[in-house]
Amino acid sequence: MDTETLQKTAADCAEELPGAGLEHPFGPEWEVYKVRGKVFMLMTQVTGEPMVILKSAPDEAAALRREHAEITPGYHMNKKHWITLESGDTIDETLVKELVTDSYRLVVSGLAKSQQPVDPHTYGLRT
């Protein structure tokens, strides 16, 4: 996946998620996607390369980092619970959409049940 497509794919996916919204609390160079006030995705090019930063379960994050050279610990985030995606040969549209949705579900699962816009245990899962 090329650099332009990475962030567009992630943003398009995030904008379709129930209750998700875009904010710029750190200035125009950071796009921050939240659900009910909680961050699930950040996008920036502050390092010169487009990147997407997502929440991930620690065991899943470790496995993703082993499998994909383009997935590294979260940039300026908790390295155990966040990952950074950069463009590259092993990153495709399906993986980006899956990781954005997984990040969203993780954050939603941490909200009070009355605040959850979807059931995080079933939303977005293919059966």
Q: Which residues of the chain have pLDDT under 50?
A: none
Cβ atoms 40, 33 nearer than 8 A:
yes
Can you give the pTM of this predicted structure? 0.94
Q: What is the pLDDT of residue 101?
A: 97
Tokens 């079933």 locate to 122
pLDDT for the residue 126: 65
Q: Cβ(36)–Cβ(112) under 8 Å?
A: no
